[in-house]
């Protein structure tokens, strides 16, 4: 479990969090920027079990963002987790009740520290649509400089989007 300055925590997903994962599809912002699949509660339980297996198999590291009442309000994780290449890519989303408090920038900072210090990764990246200023702000606040724009890199419901690429290296100055 990783504590955040805002009082929220990052913890493993639990089977009891399945309704939150299923509800994420209903949020228009989560659906637009993250393209989650609609799923039943049983499918959400299976997805959470898969995330937990991926931890064990060192394929991904997925946390629930939990509020002060220990209710999951979002997701943060490292996908394309490759210990051999010492790299991974962030993925994250928050439901409306978790937004507006700087939670995600704090979460990215905490997970980055874990990835560099505990998991031994060298490079972390954040990719997001250039039309998503909230994700860009998260990356910058968490100390991920913009490296460039990847043209036509991601297909959303409304068509192809250019993506920003932000990255941090283990050798970069630590984010306070």
The structure's pTM equals: 0.91
pLDDT category of residue 176 using cuts at 50, 70 and 90: low
pLDDT (tens digit per residue) in 82-94: 778 899 999 999 9
Mean confidence (pLDDT) of the chain: 90
HSE-CB at 46 with a 13 A cutoff on CA atoms is 5
**175 has pLDDT over 90:** no
pLDDT category of residue 36 using cuts at 50, 70 and 90: low
pLDDT (tens digit per residue) in 64-79: 999 988 999 999 999 8
Cα–Cα distance list, 35 to 91, 107, 156 (Å): 11, 21, 7
E strand spans, 29-158 = 61-66, 72-82, 87-94, 123-129, 146-156
pLDDT (tens digit per residue) in 49-65: 999 999 888 888 999 99
Contact 108, 76 (CB under 8 A): yes
Can you tell me the distance from the alpha carbon of 125 to that of 145, in angstroms, rounded to the nearest whole number? 10
Cα–Cα distance list, 146 to 78, 81, 93, 131 (Å): 18, 21, 20, 14
pLDDT at 110: 95
């Amino acid at each position: 479990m990783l504590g955040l300055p805002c009082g929220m925590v990052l913890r493993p997903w639990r089977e009891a969090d399945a309704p939150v994962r299923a509800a994420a599809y209903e949020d228009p912002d989560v659906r637009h920027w993250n393209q989650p699949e609609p799923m039943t509660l049983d499918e959400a339980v299976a997805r959470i079990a898969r995330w937990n297996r991926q931890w064990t198999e060192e394929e991904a590291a997925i946390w629930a963002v939990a509020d002060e009442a220990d209710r999951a309000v979002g997701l943060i994780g490292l996908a394309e987790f490759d210990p051999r290449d010492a790299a991974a890519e962030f993925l994250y989303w928050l439901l409306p009740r978790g937004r507006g408090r700087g939670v995600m920038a704090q979460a990215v900072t905490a997970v980055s520290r874990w990835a560099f210090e505990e998991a031994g990764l060298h490079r972390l990246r954040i990719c997001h649509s250039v039309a998503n200023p909230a994700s860009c702000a998260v990356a910058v606040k968490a100390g991920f400089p913009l490296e460039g724009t990847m043209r036509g890199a991601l297909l959303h419901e409304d068509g192809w989007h250019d993506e920003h690429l932000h990255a941090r290296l283990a050798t970069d100055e630590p984010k306070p």
